[in-house]
Chain A
Amino acid sequence: MRIDKSHRPWMIAALVVLGVALAGYVPYALGTRPRGGSVPGLIYGLAGYGMMLFAGLLGARKKVPVWRLGRAQSWMRGHVWFGLLTLPMILFHSGFSFGGPLTSLLMALLILVFLSGLAGAAIQHFVPGMMTSMVPLETIYEQIPRVRDQLRAEADKLVRSLFTVPDSVPELTLAAAASGPSRDPGKSDAGEMIEMEVAEREYAGGVYRDTVLPFLRNPESRRSVLADQGKAETFFEALRRKMPPATHEVLADLENICEEERQLTRQRRLYLWLHGWLLVHVPLSVALIVLGGVHAVVALRY
């Protein structure tokens, strides 16, 4: 999500709500010692909890995307801005005190959730752009392993025009069979070898087995020469110099596959950033809401 101009109405709304709450709170706090159980305190508490619930309902909302309950975008913005409001609301509710064990826990949770939310908003503001520019060949995160299988299969198929692919890589053949679509017609089908010297053929085979294949098998490894773009470029440049021009197209494709692998690695990392913070935010907020509910029930009861 990008926090941009289109958020202005929401921001203003949030500020207005905050202002109103504050306007109510100041005399209240001046008049009496603010506490959660007082009527204003309860109002703040309920408002705060309501906002939390609303923010939390975003998750539930996402489970039923088709229901016409308002655009998800509105929910998201509500989540962000009203989520921001929960902290002041709850502080008003508590009169800036942490109270007892449960309430202190809740406060701590709230602050954590709040902070993680802020961090998340910042991450989701900046990281998508980074991902867009740094990973032009991105695919669907969940499908990265599958795409990698296909890339490997593609590479395997490509190199068949360079040398006889050893039987030691049978899994590639399987993957190739599984990846129906990613083949270019008329391109380096098996049996259609590019002519070159035997030595060159062997050299290409060696390079593929020793460097490229391990990288394709374990593309996340940083140790491979191919894990680094600059080194990879040098590597392929050197390779091209050694191989006859007819193979250059295949090599370029191979290089391209490696580049795609690297980008996928990059995508994975960025994606972890993009969604990793949710591992904090979501569980804590769920806990916050549940325990907050308990607090509300108990507090209202007593």
Chain B
Amino acid sequence: MAGRIRTTKKLAQRIDRGYFKRLFPISRWRRVLSFVAVGCGLAWLGLHAVAHDQTPYASGPLTAAHAVLSRNCASCHGQSTALGRKIADKACLSCHDGPVHSAAQTFTPACVDCHVEHRGAEQLATSAGRVCTGCHSDLKVKAGRPGIASNIESFTHGHPEFAALRAGSADPAAIKFNHKIHVKGDVPLKCGECHRPTGIDDTWNFGQTPPIPPPAVAGTMPSGRLAPHALMQPINYYQQCSVCHALTFDDRIPDAAPHDKPEAVHEFVSRKLGEYIAAHPADLGKDNSPRSPAEWVRFRAAEDEKQLWTVTCQRCHDMQPGASDGLPGVPETKIVRRWFTKAEFNHSAHQELQCVSCHPNAATSVKASDILIPGRALCAECHGAGVANAGADCSTCHLYHDWNKARPVDGQFNIRQLTTFDVRRGSGALLSMNSGGDLER
């Protein structure tokens, strides 16, 4: 038995009774490191503060457009420190216009309700569908009842059929066109041979004449809002029809009549016949034709025009009887350039699809009055909720602001003002500037 007997008393008396008052390495280092860690953090913040850079405090990166404002929180946030206070609309409106959504809306949400910043460099305009359905799932308007649907919960639920396809609607275009003949007739055409997206300015396959720029179409389109190839170009005679349907009117004259008003056609025909008889006086009096060139021209023109008005033009247009000078009238064709007036569709986004997969009736349609755009249900086959579907956010198709009412914003800042910010000079720069404060430095 070893003689070293441990007793409580002996053990206790080995200990210096004040030992715990001194700091031992672990606790000392713990303390030191705590100071160091806090110090580092604060130093980091401090350095930024010295540089008047408030970037660290950002709750997330600003969108690219706003990135220039990162160093200066107050430029948007102002000096407001009130709990949960939102960015005032003022701050946004100093640079942007935000036209009203609908005259019937019961309230106007703040900009930041939909446009969430500090989410990185994504589109600030893109906002979640919930923002819309928040109202539209149970729509209240200022007066009366909502026009179309009052409880749209999502594209698949409660969303009405597209207006163009709603019961009773027909293509309003005053033109005669048989898709079936063109697609399946003697000369079968491919869709793309006639339907070209907008913005494609390469040489027209069939055209001989440089295309006339498509006329601006009235609508709710914000300029540049749509992607270049979003829509199909409206059918244009010269581009799509003239190849087959040349407006020739006289065997003696190779030129086709212009696809123009009857007056212009008459003038063209008369001019061409005049030129011809002048060159071929032998033909005067041939085939019981007048011998005088003028007469001949008049005679021949009447002959040719009759052919034109009643056959050639009539093929597509519903020619109307002449009014005063004997020339018929051509009704306005009214071809629908854009079927979705409240929404957007981007063909190029769907270019991987066959045309007929969305427009199945195109090959069989014989009447021009058939509306060949697909219905909501067809869209919803791809566009629905869930990750496996193409997006069905409202903002996929719809816009919020009524950009028709947009006013141009008169820019008031210079570059320095946006890129630098002097904390000492106060904050809320944008706000104060906008409110007519001290603009110049």
Q: Within 8 Å by CB, do A and B touch in the complex?
A: yes
Binding site for B on A (CB under 8 A): 31-33, 35-39, 42, 97, 99-103, 105, 137, 139-143, 146-147, 150, 154, 179-182, 184, 187, 249, 252-253, 255-257, 272, 275-276, 278-279, 282-284, 286-287, 290-291, 294-295, 298-302
A301 interface neighbour in B10, B29, B58, B81, Cβ under 8 Å: B81
Instruction: Answer whether A302 and B57 are a contact pair too, CB < 8 Å, given A142-B19, A279-B26, A294-B45.
Output: yes
Residue B61, interface by CB 8 Å: yes
On whether the beta carbons of A147 and B33 are closer than 8 Å, the reply is no
On whether the beta carbons of B34 and A42 are closer than 8 Å, the reply is no
On whether the beta carbons of B3 and A99 are closer than 8 Å, the reply is no
Pick from B35-43, B234-242, B409-417 the stretch touching chain A. Answer: B35-43
Q: How far is the CB of B365 from chain A (nearest CB, A)?
A: 43
A147 interface neighbour in B5, B9, B14, B38, Cβ under 8 Å: B14
Residue B436, interface by CB 8 Å: no
Q: Produce 1/0 per residue, B1-45, CB < 8 A to A.
A: 011111001110111100110101010011001111110111011
On whether the beta carbons of B58 and A184 are closer than 8 Å, the reply is no
What are 14 inter-chain pairs, A to B, with CB distance below 8 A?
A99-B58, A102-B57, A105-B56, A139-B11, A139-B14, A181-B9, A181-B10, A182-B10, A257-B4, A279-B29, A283-B38, A287-B34, A294-B42, A302-B80
On whether the beta carbons of B73 and A302 are closer than 8 Å, the reply is yes
Bound-state Cα–Cα, A142 to B20, Å:
8
Instruction: Answer whether A187 and B3 are a contact pair too, CB < 8 Å, given A181-B14, A294-B45, A302-B77.
Output: yes
Instruction: Answer whether A287 and B58 are a contact pair too, CB < 8 Å, given A184-B3, A275-B26.
Output: no
Q: How far is the CB of B88 from chain A (nearest CB, A)?
A: 12
B16 interface neighbour in A36, A105, A143, Cβ under 8 Å: A143
Chain A residues in 8 Å Cβ range of B9: 181
Chain A residues in 8 Å Cβ range of B56: 100-102, 105
Residue B376, interface by CB 8 Å: no
9 tightest Cβ-Cβ pairs between the two chains A and B: A181-B13, A100-B58, A283-B33, A287-B37, A302-B77, A283-B37, A301-B81, A252-B2, A283-B34
On whether the beta carbons of B41 and A290 are closer than 8 Å, the reply is yes
Bound-state Cα–Cα, A238 to B354, Å:
95
Q: How far is the CB of B22 from chain A (nearest CB, A)?
A: 8
Report how many residues on chain B are interfacial, defined by Cβ distance under 8 Å: 49
Prevailing SS type, chain B contact patch = helix
Chain A residues in 8 Å Cβ range of B13: 180-182
How many contacts A-B (CB < 8 Å)? Answer: 141
Binding site for A on B (CB under 8 A): 2-6, 9-11, 13-16, 19-20, 22, 24, 26, 29-30, 33-38, 40-42, 44-45, 55-61, 73-74, 77, 80-81, 83-84, 116, 118-119, 128, 130
B5 interface neighbour in A97, A184, A300, Cβ under 8 Å: A184
On whether the beta carbons of A101 and B4 are closer than 8 Å, the reply is no
Chain B residues in 8 Å Cβ range of A99: 58-60, 118
Bound-state Cα–Cα, A28 to B6, Å:
65
Chain B residues in 8 Å Cβ range of A256: 2, 4
On whether the beta carbons of A286 and B37 are closer than 8 Å, the reply is yes
Chain A residues in 8 Å Cβ range of B19: 140, 142-143, 146
Instruction: Answer whether A300 and B81 are a contact pair too, CB < 8 Å, given A100-B56, A283-B36.
Output: yes
Instruction: Answer whether A302 and B81 are a contact pair too, CB < 8 Å, given A249-B2, A283-B37.
Output: yes
Bound-state Cα–Cα, A50 to B77, Å:
26
B60 interface neighbour in A100, A139, A275, Cβ under 8 Å: A100
Chain A residues in 8 Å Cβ range of B81: 300-302
Nearest CB in chain B to that of A275: its residue: B26
On whether the beta carbons of B83 and A100 are closer than 8 Å, the reply is no
Chain A residues in 8 Å Cβ range of B29: 279
In the complex, besides A32-B128, A33-B119, A99-B60, 6 extra interface pairs with C-beta distance below 8 angstroms are A100-B118, A105-B41, A142-B22, A179-B14, A279-B29, A283-B30
Chain B residues in 8 Å Cβ range of A42: 83-84
A100 interface neighbour in B36, B42, B61, B80, Cβ under 8 Å: B61
Q: How far is the CB of B202 from chain A (nearest CB, A)?
A: 42
Q: How far is the CB of B13 from chain A (nearest CB, A)?
A: 3
Chain B residues in 8 Å Cβ range of A31: 130
On whether the beta carbons of A39 and B15 are closer than 8 Å, the reply is no
Nearest CB in chain B to that of A184: its residue: B3
On whether the beta carbons of A282 and B33 are closer than 8 Å, the reply is yes
On whether the beta carbons of A295 and B34 are closer than 8 Å, the reply is no
Nearest CB in chain B to that of A102: its residue: B56
Nearest CB in chain A to that of B70: its residue: A100
On whether the beta carbons of A299 and B37 are closer than 8 Å, the reply is no
Instruction: Answer whether A253 and B4 are a contact pair too, CB < 8 Å, given A181-B13, A284-B37.
Output: yes
A33 interface neighbour in B5, B36, B74, B116, Cβ under 8 Å: B116
Bound-state Cα–Cα, A279 to B29, Å:
7
Q: How far is the CB of B49 from chain A (nearest CB, A)?
A: 11
Nearest CB in chain A to that of B59: its residue: A99
Q: How far is the CB of A45 from chain B (nearest CB, A)?
A: 11
Instruction: Answer whether A146 and B15 are a contact pair too, CB < 8 Å, given A100-B57, A300-B83, A301-B81.
Output: yes
On whether the beta carbons of A35 and B34 are closer than 8 Å, the reply is no
Bound-state Cα–Cα, A154 to B56, Å:
61
On whether the beta carbons of B58 and A101 are closer than 8 Å, the reply is yes
A184 interface neighbour in B4, B36, B80, Cβ under 8 Å: B4
Q: How far is the CB of A281 from chain B (nearest CB, A)?
A: 9
Bound-state Cα–Cα, A137 to B4, Å:
12
Nearest CB in chain B to that of A150: its residue: B14
Chain A residues in 8 Å Cβ range of B35: 283
Q: How far is the CB of B14 from chain A (nearest CB, A)?
A: 5
Q: How far is the CB of A153 from chain B (nearest CB, A)?
A: 11
Q: Tell me which of A42, A257, A298 has the highest count of chain B C-beta atoms within 10 A of its own C-beta.
A: A298
Bound-state Cα–Cα, A154 to B4, Å:
10
Q: How far is the CB of A173 from chain B (nearest CB, A)?
A: 18
